[in-house]
Amino acid sequence: MQFKEIVGQERVKEQLIQTVIENRVSHAQLFLSCDGSGALPLAIAYAQYINCLNRAETDSCGTCSSCRKYNRYIHPDLHFSYPFFASKDVKIAVDVLEEWRTMLLADPYTDLNIWRSKLNAENKQANINIAECHDIIKKLSYKAFEGETKVLIMWLPEFLDKEGNALLKIIEEPPENTLFILVASNQEQILSTLLSRTQIVKIPKLEDAVIEQYLMEKHGLSALQAADYSFLADGNLIEAKAMIANAGNDNADLFAEWLRMGFKGNVPDMIGFVDLLAGWGRENQKNFLKYGISFLRECSLLLSGAEALVKLPARALDTAQKLSTHVLDLNMADAIIAELEKAHYHIERNANPKILFLDVSLQLVKIIKFKSLPKGTQYIYN
């Protein structure tokens, strides 16, 4: 993978390239980012750049023997470690290496849910066990086969329990020309002993404009569609791609129409609307509810006088301003958000969508038209 294939993150790319040019590559680094920001692709591109035989000042060449092997994730000096689901046939990460390579070749922007779907995970818990730690030590004790630098990329070191302390010595005193890159999304869940031995590279969330441009160029979305998906993804490219895969509904217009029905108390129309929602797949239903939650949180910012923090697309912003001026107050917005969050929770657990959305629709009527908050709910606003 080359840096040019990675979406956005120009500042981080320049920073990584500069460490190579100036010969100040730290032997143990932690790439810390939110899901969908591109930390894993950046780690792979960085390792490829370091071992490229004809690298330029801006990227690896992509054509030398090292790059060709990196592009297929088969370079003998590139090693991966990652959470897996242990069984009698799967003792260490290399036992599912082909599945890992297949997933990366399809799309290196991945998360644990995608990885789980590629394996026979059932209800097992993912982890990086002591056997895997011992295998890492064994592999890195060998000399490099072809490249200048041996690289170990550990994805999600959060899944290392106390067994991870077995790696401390080799991380602190690595064999010559060895690079560790840990790719994580939750710093608090990483062993403090590991953290203290790594140089942290913070990778920011992708900007909305970057995701919008990507969706228009790579997926042929209109500017309006790309803006909606980008807003909802909140910097997570994996989430944006998942929404496209389950696309087909205009969440912005449909959610605004749902609120209007609630304001009018138009129950017959709501029943027809519920039938429409119930006919969608669960991922579309969840995306619709997530859009509503995000939209109403932006409305809350408007109602609080924090207009400068609002990042709604233009057409959704106009709707939000009208609702915030003429219909909603903070209590109502919070009450509706609570109902949508409960609905999202139950949809994930396979609740009957027709009954669920009918109940939420009736709650919208109570909250918006009759200004009646759910019993037992207390809000901090006056």
Q: How far apart are CA 245 and CA 225, in angstroms?
A: 13
Question: What is the mean predicted confidence (pLDDT) over 253-261?
Answer: 87
pLDDT for 375 equals: 60
Percent of the chain with pLDDT over 90: 44
Considering only CA atoms, which of 77, 71, 80 is closest in space to residue 183?
Answer: 80
Q: Is residue 269 predicted with pLDDT exceeding 60?
A: yes
- pLDDT (tens digit per residue) in 47-66: 999 999 999 989 999 999 99
For the cut 80, the answer to whether the pLDDT of residue 28 exceeds it is yes
Question: Domain 248-369 belongs to what topology?
Answer: Zinc Finger, Delta Prime; domain 3 (1.20.272)
pLDDT mean over 107-130: 84
How many percent of the chain have pLDDT more than 70?
95
Q: How far apart are CA 139 and CA 284, in angstroms?
A: 44
pLDDT for the residue 45: 96
Cβ distance 8 to 206 under 8 Å? Answer: yes
pLDDT at 280 over 90: no
CB 29 within 8 A of CB 22: no
Asked if CATH classification 3.40.50.300 holds for the domain at 3-205, the reply, yes or no, is yes
Separation between Cα atoms, residue 347 and residue 377, nearest integer Å: 22
Position 290 confidence tier, pLDDT thresholds 50, 70, 90: confident
Output the pTM of the full model.
0.73
45 versus 286: the higher-pLDDT residue is 45
Q: Which of 196-200, 227-231, 242-246 has the largest mean confidence?
A: 196-200
Q: Each residue of 129-138: pLDDT tens digit?
A: 999 999 999 9
pLDDT tens sequence across 236-252: 898 888 877 765 556 77
Q: Domain limits of the chain? A: 3-205, 248-369
Q: How confident is the model at residue 378 (pLDDT cuts 50, 70, 90)?
A: very low
Does residue 285 register a pLDDT over 90?
no
Q: Do 149 and 177 meet the contact criterion of CB atoms below 8 Å apart?
A: yes
The pLDDT, as a whole number, for residue 326 is: 84
Residue 5 neighbours by CB under 8 Å, 6+ apart: 41, 45
pLDDT of residue 377: 45
Q: How confident is the model at residue 123 (pLDDT cuts 50, 70, 90)?
A: low
**How confident is the model at residue 247, as a pLDDT?**
56
Q: Which of 66-80, 112-126, 296-310 has the lowest mean pLDDT?
A: 112-126
Q: Given this model, what pLDDT does residue 54 score?
A: 92
Q: For 83-100, how does the pLDDT look when each residue is reduced to its tens digit (9 = 90+)?
A: 998 888 889 999 999 999
* Backbone phi, psi, residue 379, to 5°: -120, 155
What lies within 8 Å, CB to CB, of 62 at 6+ separation is 2, 71
Q: Judge whether residue 328 has pLDDT over 60.
A: yes
Mean pLDDT, all residues of the chain: 87
Task: Give the residue among 75, 55, 57 at the shortest CA–CA distance from 66.
Answer: 75
pLDDT of residue 381: 35
pLDDT by residue (tens digit) across 296-311?
998 999 999 888 888 7
Please write down the HEC assignment for all residues of the chain: CCHHHCCCCHHHHHHHHHHHHCCCCCCEEEEEECCCCCHHHHHHHHHHHHHCCCCCCCCCCCCCHHHHHHHCCCCCCEEEECCECCCCCCCCHHHHHHHHHHHHHHCCCCCHHHHHHHCCCCCCCCEECHHHHHHHHHHHCCCCCCCCCEEEEEECHHHECHHHHHHHHHHHCCCCCEEEEEEECCHHHCCHHHHCCCEEEEECCCCHHHHHHHHHHHHCCCHHHHHHHHHHHCCCHHHHHHHHHCCCCCHHHHHHHHHHHHHHCCHHHHHHHHHHHHCCCHHHHHHHHHHHHHHHHHHHHHHCCCHHHCCCCHHHHHHHHHHHHHCCCHHHHHHHHHHHHHHHHHHHCCCCHHHHHHHHHHHHHHHHHCCCCCCCCCCCCC
Distance of CA 361 to the CA centre of its chain: 30
Alpha carbon separation from 375 to 133, 315, 336, 372 (Å, rounded): 53, 34, 13, 9
